[in-house]
Amino acid sequence: MPSSRSTRALAVALLAVLLGALLPAATAQAASRTVQGGRLDWGIKASFQSYVTGPIANGSWSLTGGAATVGGSQFRFHSATGSYDPDTGAFSSAFSGGVHFTGHKKADGSNELDLTISRPTIRISGGSGMLHADMVSKERGTGKVSSRSQVPLARLGLGGINMKGGSTPVALTNVPTTLTAEGASAFAGYYTEGTPLDPVSLSVDTKGPAAQPKPTAPDEKKDEGEKKDKDKAEKDKEKAGRFEDAAVDWGVRRTFREYVTGSIGQGKWTLADGAQDGGALFRFPQGKGTYDAKKETLDAEFSGSIRFTGAHDLDLKFAAVTVAVAKGEGTLSADVTSEGKTTKDVPIVTFEAEDFAPKNGLAALTEVPAALTAEGSKAFGSMYKAGTAMDPVSLAVAVDDKAELPALPDLGSEPTAAAEPTKKAAEEPSAAPAAASSDSGPGAGTWAAVGGGALLVLGAVAAFFVLRRRSAQPAPEAGADAAAPDSPQTS
């Protein structure tokens, strides 16, 4: 029969083994993750949108910085950056893009209502959250313009949402928001503190800490640098007048996209041949041609095509996009296919190109105004007149092999399972913000292992006391029915 001392030693050893296996899984949760792309969908306030564009304000809104519209009344902000700690649930993510509202036009051409909301940021910590944003607005009555950075604009209603333990993507859906006092002031006094705003939805991708790069010996770096400089000089000689890469971004026209996918057009668009969808714009990449830095001229052709189809025999395709820049003006042309007939090299829009000199190896134009040509008007079946303002054009030409083209808006992965807000906090923790599995991130499987390990530890503790009690009691006589150590004793 084992002694009390040996029994206790056995139980302690068992506990040590189990805890040793369990603790690494638990401590692995503490590593903070980097937010590396995603989107935020927020309509700000639907009734405000209606007021701005209605008969009273008689105004409009426009998108900036690559923001887009989804579902008709929501604005999509893109390219999330920030951090997320699965252990504490702390979350911080900034998004790109903005919305500019104008209305109540005055006799001098200015607008009494002039409000821009951009760069929204979500910050969550300790069960509470806030939406911050950059805001530029005119005060009602006085017209005084104020510009404020990262105003705490709206409180998030996070009741019942457990932000701990998510992996990637981290997603929240229809989180209620209410206007803060600071937000009411920055909102030019159109609403008071506590006013409900539109709910917020977001989905962001996350990644674990990056591995440290292997250090390179100083001599190796020097030799490598000299070799690169030599190769670059040779390439420059071989490619005089040519460029490394280029892309042109153009959204065609926002209202046309909304018409195509709306209740009248009932259609869609399809990208092919390498064209990319950037949310509020389309990218035609892989530019080839010639660029003269001194004259600031460009003659380039790009890959990609886009086709719009829908009701009422809508079928319009743009392909073989080209861009020519000379004397401060640019022209975007394309092969146009409509009603089964293709017309080659149709000039669609013209745009401003005043400053097209390279800076740090990149010649770029960002969201420059574009106007429809007479030929472009015919391509649209005279839906728009010549001179109509179309979506702005962005153009980037890399004249140096080290220069990188601007990134498209990063919308992240589609959310797989989002945490839904509840009216009041549940007695048990709600589902984690994201249920997608990740090799490097803490997922449901990890927490299940932690729970199972805890049960094993409790079992080991129970076994220890069972063995201790058993060793302290006399052994039952042979033939007698011995009660289980922890079961109720019979009289």
CB-count exposure of residue 390 (10 Å: 0-12, 13-18, 19+): buried
Mean per-residue pLDDT for 207-232?
62
State how far the Cα of 38 lies from the Cα of 74, in Å rounded to an integer.
Answer: 16
Strand partners, 391: none
pTM value?
0.67
- Band of pLDDT at residue 362, cut at 50, 70 and 90: very high
Query: Percent of the chain having pLDDT more than 90?
Result: 58
Helix axes 4-27, 444-472, angle to 10 degrees: 170
pLDDT at 347 over 80: yes
- Band of pLDDT at residue 268, cut at 50, 70 and 90: very high
Q: What is the per-residue pLDDT for 5?
A: 53
Residues near 193 by beta carbon (within 8 Å), at least 6 away in sequence:
179, 180, 181, 183, 184
State how far the Cα of 156 lies from the Cα of 365, in Å rounded to an integer.
Answer: 37
pLDDT at 392 over 60: yes
Residues near 18 by beta carbon (within 8 Å), at least 6 away in sequence:
453, 456, 457, 460
Q: What is the pLDDT of residues 436-466, one digit of tens each?
A: 333 333 333 323 333 334 333 334 434 433 3
Q: What is the pLDDT of residues 303-329, one digit of tens each?
A: 999 999 999 999 999 999 999 999 999
State how far the Cα of 131 lies from the Cα of 150, in Å rounded to an integer.
Answer: 9
Q: What is the mean pLDDT of the chain?
A: 79
State how far the Cα of 45 lies from the Cα of 74, in Å rounded to an integer.
Answer: 9
- Residue 174 or 4, more confident: 174
pLDDT at 490 over 50: no
**CA angle, residues 65, 82, 424, in degrees to nearest 5:** 100
- Residue 387 or 21, more confident: 387
State the alpha helices, DSSP H only, in 327-395: 374-379
Which structure tokens are listed for 169?
A: 């993507």
Give the residue among 229, 239, 258, 250 at the shortest CA–CA distance from 351: 250
